[in-house]
């Protein structure tokens, strides 16, 4: 059986052209671009909490890195480097090879050097640290929104949560939604190009990992204001006469509270609407104006129906410790 360092050398040591010293020493050595600030993020994915234990390892490899790159995208940072640490219950080289294939495919697509990490024996989990670069003073933060700013969301939030519900047999999705939703769950696309394009345009931003309402609430709280979301302005998800009321309600809940989307939610002054429309066209990515920031209780997020009446939801998003109680 291959040992720890043999596995690392065989599956996780690749060329690192943008790095002074990559894997193989006590530390990697990196050289930031002169004049740039570093943006650093870490995310852990645990089997049974962040992914189903039978998730295909190639998809898991992609997603493990993608969710960290998404955090860099939300800051308007250019991804550059990443480290990988993980625990494996057993040595399954076929599983490891497929995981590495997906992981390095994501790294190659987004221009990331994998510069080190660690392995150990234990319950299946992976922990990534990703590092990016951003111009000083240009990072997209959560604390810059102002009352009157428009609220925007990219793509179609809710697909990933619906995909999970489909895989767990909680809902039977009509075609072509199963392929779209499971794809969104297992192979998210970090919105790096959008984050970079929003520098100087967005007033605040966050990636949607725990649910749109919960993550928008983080912007509102850090910015000292409230948010108003309008149902009629949300992207379309499964609906229509052929879909029953339960599915339509679940789709709406997934869209607003489901999480695992890794779309970007951002705010911007109304004067930036034309610039945002140009970005959407250039990137061929739908961007939806779903409401506005308002004066009010810091962190409060209210959803309004077409008649202007508030709509209550039992939860705002995912909370690891609340979910465990």
What is residue 192's predicted lDDT score, i.e. its pLDDT? 98
Phi-psi region of 117 (alpha: psi -120 to 50; beta: other; left: phi over 0): left
Domain segments of the chain as ranges: 4-134, 150-311
What is residue 316's predicted lDDT score, i.e. its pLDDT? 62
Please answer whether residues 295 and 147 qualify as being in contact, where contact means their C-beta atoms are separated by less than 8 angstroms. yes
Q: In CATH, what class is 150-311?
A: alpha beta
Residue 179, SS3? helix
Give the whole-angstrom CA distance, residue 109 versus residue 95.
22
pLDDT digits (tens, 9 = 90+) for 24-75: 888 999 999 999 999 999 999 998 888 888 899 999 999 999 999 999 999 9
Residue 322 pLDDT exceeds 60: no
What is residue 305's predicted lDDT score, i.e. its pLDDT? 92
What is residue 309's predicted lDDT score, i.e. its pLDDT? 93
In the chain the first and final C-alpha atoms are separated, in Å, by 40
- Other C-beta atoms closer than 10 Å to the C-beta of 146 total 15
Options 3.30.1330.10, 3.40.50.450, 3.40.50.150, 3.30.499.10; CATH for 4-134 is 3.30.1330.10
């Amino acid at each position: 059986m291959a040992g720890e360092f043999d596995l690392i050398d065989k599956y996780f040591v690749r060329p690192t052209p943008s790095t002074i010293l990559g894997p193989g020493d006590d530390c990697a050595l990196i050289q930031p671009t002169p004049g740039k600030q570093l943006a650093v993020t870490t995310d852990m994915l645990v089997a049974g909490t962040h992914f189903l234990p039978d998730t295909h390892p190639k998809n898991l490899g992609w997603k493990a890195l993608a969710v960290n790159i998404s955090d860099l995208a939300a800051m308007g940072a250019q991804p550059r480097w990443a480290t990988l640490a993980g625990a494996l219950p057993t040595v399954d080289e076929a599983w490891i090879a497929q995981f590495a294939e997906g992981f390095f495919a994501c790294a190659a697509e987004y221009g990331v050097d994998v510069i080190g990490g660690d392995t150990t024996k234990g319950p299946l989990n992976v922990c990534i640290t990703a590092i990016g670069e951003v111009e000083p003073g240009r990072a997209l933060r959560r604390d810059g929104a102002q009352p009157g700013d428009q609220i925007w969301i990219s793509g179609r939030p809710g697909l990933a949560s619906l995909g999970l519900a489909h895989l767990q047999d909680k809902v039977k999705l009509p075609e072509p939604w199963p392929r779209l939703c499971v794809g969104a769950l297992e192979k998210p696309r970090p919105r790096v190009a959008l984050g970079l394009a929003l520098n100087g345009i967005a007033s605040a931003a966050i990636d949607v990992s725990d649910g749109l309402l919960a993550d928008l609430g983080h912007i509102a709280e850090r910015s000292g204001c409230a948010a108003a979301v309008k149902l009629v302005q949300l992207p379309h998800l499964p609906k229509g006469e052929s879909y029953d009321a339960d599915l339509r309600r679940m789709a709406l809940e997934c869209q607003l509270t489901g999480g695992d989307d890794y779309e970007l939610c951002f705010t911007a002054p109304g004067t930036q609407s034309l610039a945002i429309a140009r970005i959407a066209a250039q990137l061929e990515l739908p961007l939806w104006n779903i409401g506005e920031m308002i004066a009010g209780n810091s962190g409060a997020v209210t959803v309004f129906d077409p008649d202007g009446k508030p709509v209550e939801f039992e939860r705002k998003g995912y909370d690891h410790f609340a979910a465990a109680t």
